[in-house]
Structure 1
Amino acid sequence: MKLVTPKKNLGQHFLTDLSIAKRIADTVDACPDIPILEVGPGMGVLTQYLCQKGRRVRVVEIDPESVQWLHENFHIAHEDIIGADFLKMDLTKVFEGQPFVLTGNYPYDISSQIFFKMLENKDLIPCCTGMIQREVAQRIASAPGSKANGILSVLIQAYYDVEYLFQVDENVFNPPPKVKSAVIRMTRNGVDHLDCDERLFKRIVKTVFGQRRKMLRVSIKQLFGKEKPSAAFFEQDIMTRRPEQLSVADFVSLTREVEKTLQSFAHSAEND
């Protein structure tokens, strides 16, 4: 049986330890009774255990060689092996608009993009599990005050509870990556909508972490363009902090304050 050749340009590192593959598959049990979409199945080491869960499993794979191998060697419905780029897929059509678990041994170089897409489709994805680079997993699971806290931490934790489950060493892959890996699980936390303008919330998070070494009173200024908020706005306690020190609730409060100030500028302009 000819095996698939791992491709460096696709970031392929095939997991070879079956016990770890089973442990990863078992992470989807936290969200039972709904179908599963696996990203980047490769040669199906994880897929074989997902298929034992008694629910529909679909896989999406960008590598044509892997797609062909799965068709020839895997007992899974032809239409459930999707040869496509996950980042370009319309996720509302994968299971006819039904919610699903997202899982996989994710390509490390696009894992952040995968999770941003998850956030865009959070109402469809009550649970996301899988293996990523350890440093990214630590960042996503980090608490306020941690140096690892960043854009992904805040945006994901706004809508998901994050569990850092276990570490995976390099020697269980072909070829071995140069970094350690970790398995995480993200489960929707029941927040349907934040108590603020969510688009502005996202913009603020990205803006202040773009200058993460600066206090908020410096980095937040660029949100106002030529307008200048009052001195009292910048004298608030939160303005003396750096972004990694803020919780999701702090960012929600900050967003409301910024929104209120922007609305006052707009109101003044209308009356001029």
Structure 2
Amino acid sequence: MKGVRAKKHLGQHFLKDQNIAQKIVESLSGHKKYQHLLEIGPGTGVLSNFLIDRAEYELLFMDVDQESVDYLQNQYPDYKEKIIKEDFLRIDLGHYYKEAFGIIGNFPYNISSQIFFKVLEYRNQIPEVVGMIQKEVAERIAAKEGSKTYGILSVLLQAFYEVEYLFSVPPNVFNPPPKVTSAVLRLKRNETQTLDCDEKLFFRVVKQGFNNRRKTLRNALKTFNLSDEIKSLDLLDKRAEQLTVNDFVELTNHIANGES
């Protein structure tokens, strides 16, 4: 694509279909809780071109690739100061945002899960995320309990966000085409400000449960040195993939209190 070479080590696959780009941007809900919007990995600006028309947002474009930054600053000189070279995974977002902000982007496949873990860190500042990622990961995030694809990110994100699988995107609309199908997800912050449990312990319980997903939770959570009372809980007869977010909250409270 003219001006920017796709770099394999950055997981770059540039969207070239204008209709899909417009559809992704139109997937933003127009959320009234934020005016700031961050695009992660704008690349050649196919989404940026439509975002600039959205006057309701104060935009910031962040890319780790200097070639993309130079290209976009040349393409959109009025936004030169808003197009920055930064690694989203490494920066302190509080340096750029004191208020709420939304996120949009065609996320590199190799870091998409890490992007969502960082969203969780800033969940009380991020009311909405619209992102294109690998279809398999999108299905995993949107999966419900009982599904084989339900996992750590499913539980952690659904604890704080409404997750919507919006649509799939074929490989041939990218340059270069990825070897997999893509999908667009929308996350909208729910009403849960804090969980009714120790949140750090909740995260540990969820991760430990799914790291041993073939085992019942009684065996998967042995590292927590469960008391005999907790070991008698019916919840522990299940595997992690069978528990709802509320089930994990309940289980976390039992572990925290050391009683059934």
The question of a shared fold, defined as TM-score above 0.5 by the shorter chain, is answered with yes
- Deviation per CA, 1:193-251, whole angstroms, max 9, x where unpaired? 00000000000000010100000110111112xxx511x42221111100000000000
Question: For residues 58 and 173 of structure 1, what CA distance do their matches in structure 2 show?
Answer: 23
Among 86, 91, 100, the residue aligned to 1:84: 86
Amino acid of the structure 2 residue aligned with 1:229: S
Quote the residue 2:103 is aligned against: 102
Matched, 1:14 2:14: yes
Question: Which of structures 1 and 2 has the bigger CA Rg?
Answer: 1
- Deviation per CA, 1:144-196, whole angstroms, max 9, x where unpaired? 10111000000000000000000000000000000100001000001000000
Matched, 1:47 2:48: yes
Quote the residue 2:233 is aligned against: 236
Amino acid of the structure 1 residue aligned with 2:196: D
Asked whether the 8 Å contact 1:162–1:187 carries over to 2, the reply is yes
Question: For residues 105 and 36 of structure 1, what CA distance do their matches in structure 2 show?
Answer: 14
The count of corresponding residues between Structure 1 and Structure 2 is 258
Asked whether the 8 Å contact 1:92–1:124 carries over to 2, the reply is no
- Give unpaired runs (5+ residues) of structure 1: 265-272
Matched, 1:250 2:247: yes
Quote the residue 1:56 is aligned against: 58
**1:2 CA drift (Å):** 4.2
Question: For residues 240 and 78 of structure 2, what CA distance do their matches in structure 1 show?
Answer: 46
**1:29 CA drift (Å):** 2.9
SS in 1 for 2:221: helix
SS in 1 for 2:236: helix
Amino acid of the structure 1 residue aligned with 2:36: P
Quickly say closer, same or farther: Cα 1:214–1:76, change in 2 above 3 A.
farther
Quote the residue 1:259 is aligned against: 256
**1:23 CA drift (Å):** 0.6
Which 4+ runs in 1 deviate beyond 4 A? none
Amino acid of the structure 1 residue aligned with 2:10: L
Question: For residues 135 and 2 of structure 2, what CA distance do their matches in structure 1 show?
Answer: 31
Given the two structures, how large is their TM-score scaled by the length of structure 2? 0.96
Question: For residues 15 and 210 of structure 1, what CA distance do their matches in structure 2 show?
Answer: 34
**1:35 CA drift (Å):** 1.6
Amino acid of the structure 1 residue aligned with 2:170: D
Asked whether the 8 Å contact 1:129–1:185 carries over to 2, the reply is yes
Question: For residues 145 and 29 of structure 1, what CA distance do their matches in structure 2 show?
Answer: 29
SS in 2 for 1:166: strand
**1:36 CA drift (Å):** 0.8
Quote the residue 1:128 is aligned against: 129
SS in 2 for 1:146: coil
SS in 2 for 1:255: helix
- Deviation per CA, 1:47-73, whole angstroms, max 9, x where unpaired? 011111102111100001111101111
**1:75 CA drift (Å):** 3.9
Given the two structures, how large is their TM-score scaled by the length of structure 1? 0.92
Quote the residue 1:186 is aligned against: 187
Question: For residues 54 and 255 of structure 2, what CA distance do their matches in structure 1 show?
Answer: 47
Quote the residue 1:209 is aligned against: 210
- Give unpaired runs (5+ residues) of structure 2: none
Q: Counting helix residues as a fraction of each chain, which structure ranks higher? A: 1
Amino acid of the structure 1 residue aligned with 2:220: S
Among 57, 73, 76, the residue aligned to 1:74: 76
Amino acid of the structure 2 residue aligned with 1:73: Q
**RMSD over aligned Cα, in angstroms?**
1.5
Task: Report sequence identity in percent.
Answer: 49
